[in-house]
Amino acid sequence: MQPAFDILQERDTLIIRAFGPWSRQALCASPRVPEEMTSQALAALRDAKAVRFLADEVTDWDSVLLSAFNAIAQKARAAGLAVDTSALPGGMGPMLDMALAVPPGNVGARKEEPGFLETIGEKTLAWPGITINVVDFVGEVAVSMARFFSGRASCSPRDMWNVFRECGVDALPIVSLTSLLLGLILAFVSSMQLKLFGAEIYVASLVGVSMVRVMGPVLTGIVLSGRTGASFAAVIGSMQVNEEVDALTGFGISPTDFLVLPRVLGLAVMTPLLTLYADVAGIAGGFLVGVLMLDISPAAYISNTLQFMTLGYVWTGLLHALVFGFIISLCGCYQGMRCGRNASAVGRATTAAVVNSIVGIIVATSVITIILTVLDL
């Protein structure tokens, strides 16, 4: 028996009865049958006010029959006709009703890209909600930190030490390389101008003060933003995708205590220590340029560095580093905790964490510099 439609008109109702085998295997010999039958049924819709589907004589069926019925039903629904699927056998009726529940205009429709002004408006309107979320998150971290110092936080010491190792020891190679090269660059570039006045000896103090006061903390913060802050966002975001954060909440464990607090404290402690190491590496880079290229004696270079170096510069750099540690960890953890439930959301959260951290470092540096200048420190 060949698959076909029996199209009958009863008063204002068009009855479409399918019979025969309606499966891909049965239609291999006549692949154009569904298209031809559907075209005949669509042509008969002009004189009807309702459509009723029957399939009591179908011996075998799969998505081929559903696709044909759906094409007719969608056309009938668009023309304002009533569609009756109650007589269809098995799960055919419910599946067809689900397909009809989607408006035809939305099927396969491309989403229009927002215009420039629309994008600006959306971003502007989103700021109040983002601000509230950030304030709530910072408040949660502050409360969690209070629980930690009172001994009531759900924080594992082993996780804390793992974060210390990840933020500190594991970051030493990249911090060493970048700081050494930055010291080399500062010394080389400054010597090009100081040579004009015969003041090459001041390369030592320039490199030392620059690294200790600002450049060392900023470089360390940027390196940790791309390395550690992104890692925080990716790890916590992946846990959001796998619903591990929800599982912690279900077990009565605060995700802020267990996931965020160790990372915030770990990075806040290790960033100043890494900054001190970066300062030494940067001064060493300037030392190499001064001794090997500018013919400055090692004793003179060290003496000039210590002459202009003050303890206040060191404390200023450590203040920068402490603030940067909080900014990087909070940005990374915030983006991870607010991550969506798919892989692309994890990528966006990681990117946003790095961008927000770097912007936060630049803004914090400007604010701290202005405050210290006003205070004459």
Residue 228 domain-assigned?
A: yes
Residues near 43 by Cβ (< 8 Å), separated by ≥ 6? none
* Pair 331, 194 in one domain: yes
Domain of residue 183, residue span: 132-374
Place of tokens 């009863």: 10
Is the residue at 201 inside a domain?
Answer: yes
Instruction: Flag whether 120 is in a domain.
Output: no
Residue 116 binned pLDDT confidence (cut-offs 50, 70, 90): confident
- For residue 328, how many other CB atoms are within 10 A of its CB? 35
Say what the pLDDT of residue 215 is: 92
Which has the higher per-residue pLDDT, 147 or 60? 147
157 versus 145: which is more confidently predicted? 145
On whether residue 124 sits in a domain, the answer given is: no
Residue 170 and residue 273 in one domain: yes
Q: What is the pLDDT of residue 183?
A: 92
In this predicted structure, what is the pLDDT of residue 29? 64
**pLDDT of residue 177 exceeding 90:** yes
281-308 pLDDT, tens digit per residue, is 999 999 999 888 888 889 998 998 888 8
Q: Which of 88, 106, 124 is the last residue of a domain?
A: 106
Claim to verify: residue 158 and residue 58 sit in the same structural domain: no
Q: Tell me the mean pLDDT in the region 144-155.
A: 85
* 42 and 180 co-located in one domain: no
Last residue of a domain, one of 72, 106, 140: 106
Total residue length of the chain: 377
Residues 209 and 350 in one domain: yes
Task: Kindly state whether residues 191 and 319 are assigned to the same domain.
Answer: yes
- Mark whether 100 and 145 lie in a shared domain: no
Query: What average pLDDT does the segment 118-132 reach?
Result: 85
pLDDT at residue 250, rounded to an integer: 82
CATH number at residue 15: 3.30.750.24
Is pLDDT of 102 > 80?
Answer: no
Of the pLDDT bands very low, low, confident and very high (cuts 50, 70, 90), residue 103 is low
Mean pLDDT of 144-166: 85
In a domain, 250, yes or no: yes
C-beta of residue 87 within 8 angstroms of C-beta of residue 56 = yes
pLDDT tens string 35-81: 777 787 777 777 778 888 888 787 887 777 788 888 888 888 888 88
Cα–Cα distance for residue pair 371/316, rounded to 1 Å: 11
Same domain, 45 and 137: no
What is the residue-wise DSSP string for 272-317? HHHHHHHHHHHHHHHHHHHHHTS---HHHHHHHHHHH--HHHHHHH
pLDDT value at residue 56: 78
Higher per-residue pLDDT: 263 or 105: 263
138 shares its domain with 100: no
Q: Residue 75: inside a domain, yes or no?
A: yes
Averaged pLDDT score across all residues of the chain = 85
Q: Do both 179 and 320 map to the same domain?
A: yes
Q: Are residues 195 and 61 located together in one domain of the fold?
A: no
Same domain, 90 and 152: no
Residue 119 lies in a domain: no
Strands 13-22 and 50-61 come out as parallel
| Minimum mean pLDDT range among 17-26, 166-175, 266-275 | 17-26
CA distance 202 to 208: 10
Q: Looking at residues 13-25, what average pLDDT do you find?
A: 80
* Number of domains comprising the chain: 2
Residue 163 lies in a domain: yes
Predicted local confidence at residue 104, as pLDDT: 53
